[in-house]
Amino acid sequence: MILLGLILLSLLQYNSVDADGTVPDQVHISFTGDMTEMAVTWNTFEPASQYVVYKKVGTAIQATAFESSEKWVYGGITRYRHTATMTKLEYATEYEYNIAGRSFTFKTLPKDPQSYKVCVFGDLGYWHGNSTESIIKHGLAGDFDFIVHLGDIAYDLHTDNGRVGDNYLNTFEPLISKIPYMVIAGNHEDDLQNFTNYQKRFSVPRNGHNDNQFYSFDLGPVHWVGVSTENYGYYYSYGMQPVLTQYDWLKKDLAAANANRAARPWIFTFQHRPFYCSNLNSAECQSFENRLIVGLKCAAFPQQARTKSRGAGSRPSRDLDLDTTVSIYVRFVWKFWTLTVN
């Protein structure tokens, strides 16, 4: 009885917060590839026509970013994904933005920054969330400028009909509504519906296949490239076409970046699985899916013979070749790593 009373009370409290399912939740921001823009993505459980009102902190002139929204269904739960892009932002400027009565702030980076910090981690969830508190604390303290999450998000985004993904994004909302959150899919993002939860919950630069599986963006001295290693692991479920599409795109993207080395000397790729294994975690490195990504590795690292590898055990491993191409992956580390570019 007491238990029932408590459950009813918590349902009532929940309902009073979001009685009609239109309160925006899971609010997060991400780069679009144009550093005078910022994408905002959020969720509602009922249809709602919402928009983002934003302005420089301390000023009165407001701008409005209209959203596009899309209904998606997983495990019998209907969600509405909303996304809007704030444009014409000034560099190194603090903005505040408001969505249906909820307010957030973020700060843009300086123009063409030659020095910045990135928080890199993989395999972090609502479960296995050992570093969550520390990441949020350091991020809010301004210890890094954006986040790269190398797959295996939430454990899993789709678990419990997607409620684990909702909880995960709400837990991180205080940070990722403020600091751009850049993601790439890991094997745990396969939700038996062709990565639907991953596709619908995030926004990334649209220069890949216009989905979230691969993309690139430039920031200061680095051309960043996110690729899916899971197109390989799941080809038997979803076909070879995603592998071929990504491979063709990657060759062109890297050729263009390579021709631009004078302006942007570094290329960083990031993906869920390692291209090279330089640590003792050999079972992980020799798994069937890991061996499939050899084509991807050759596109990114044509001069394999000159590659030096570092890293051991559960520390992040880093593979660096003499052409200043770096491949970043982190697996099975419930710790995060701050990468300083300068």
Q: Does 211 bind ligand NAG (CB under 6 A)?
A: yes
CB of 231 to ligand NAG, least distance (A): 8
Q: Does 241 bind ligand NAG (CB under 6 A)?
A: yes
Whether residue 279 contacts residue 311, with contact meaning beta carbons closer than 8 Å, is answered with yes
Q: Does 128 bind ligand NAG (CB under 6 A)?
A: yes
Q: Does 235 bind ligand NAG (CB under 6 A)?
A: no
DSSP state of 168: H
In order of 208, 251, 252, 292, 296, the CA distances from 247 in angstroms are 11, 6, 9, 13, 7
Among 77, 127, 280, 303, binds ligand NAG (CB under 6 A): 127
Q: Does 247 bind ligand NAG (CB under 6 A)?
A: no
- Cβ partners under 8 Å of residue 233, min gap 6: 187, 273, 288, 289, 292
CB of 218 to ligand NAG, least distance (A): 23
Identity of the residue, 98 or 194, whose beta carbon is nearer to ligand NAG in the bound complex: 194
Options 84-92, 216-224, 233-241, 287-295: segment touching ligand NAG (CB under 6 A): 233-241
**Cα torsion through 73, 29, 331, 271, rounded to 10:** 90
Gap between the Cα atoms of 141 and 14, Å rounded:
30
Among 45, 51, 238, 266, binds ligand NAG (CB under 6 A): 238
Identity of the residue, 24 or 186, whose beta carbon is nearer to ligand NAG in the bound complex: 186
In the shown chain, the binding pattern of residues 55 to 94 toward ligand NAG, with x for contact by CB under 6 A and - for none, equals: ----------------------------------------
CB of 74 to ligand NAG, least distance (A): 15
Token pair, residue 159, equals 């678990």
**Cα torsion through 300, 306, 311, 316, rounded to 10:** -20
For 236, what's the count of Cα atoms within 13 Å in the CB-facing half-sphere? 4
Q: Does 242 bind ligand NAG (CB under 6 A)?
A: yes
Q: Does 314 bind ligand NAG (CB under 6 A)?
A: no
CB of 140 to ligand NAG, least distance (A): 22
Gap between the Cα atoms of 201 and 215, Å rounded:
16
Task: Pick the closest to residue 274 from 234, 310, 249, 303 (CA basis).
Answer: 310
Among 69, 194, 258, 281, binds ligand NAG (CB under 6 A): 194
Identity of the residue, 149 or 178, whose beta carbon is nearer to ligand NAG in the bound complex: 149
Q: Does 36 bind ligand NAG (CB under 6 A)?
A: no
Helix H, strand E, coil C: the string for 187-210 is HHHCCCCCCHHHHHHCCCCCCCCC
Whether residue 220 contacts residue 112, with contact meaning beta carbons closer than 8 Å, is answered with yes
Whether residue 232 contacts residue 276, with contact meaning beta carbons closer than 8 Å, is answered with no
Size of interface with ligand NAG, in residues (CB under 6 A)? 11
Identity of the residue, 334 or 337, whose beta carbon is nearer to ligand NAG in the bound complex: 334
Identity of the residue, 234 or 329, whose beta carbon is nearer to ligand NAG in the bound complex: 234
Identity of the residue, 62 or 130, whose beta carbon is nearer to ligand NAG in the bound complex: 130
Whether residue 184 contacts residue 195, with contact meaning beta carbons closer than 8 Å, is answered with no
Q: Does 239 bind ligand NAG (CB under 6 A)?
A: yes
Among 49, 105, 130, 303, binds ligand NAG (CB under 6 A): 130
Q: Does 213 bind ligand NAG (CB under 6 A)?
A: yes
- Cβ partners under 8 Å of residue 212, min gap 6: 183, 185, 195, 198, 199, 202, 203, 204
Identity of the residue, 91 or 127, whose beta carbon is nearer to ligand NAG in the bound complex: 127
Residue 35 phi, psi (nearest 5): -75, 5
Binding site for ligand NAG (CB under 6 A): 127-128, 130, 194, 211, 213, 238-239, 241-242, 334
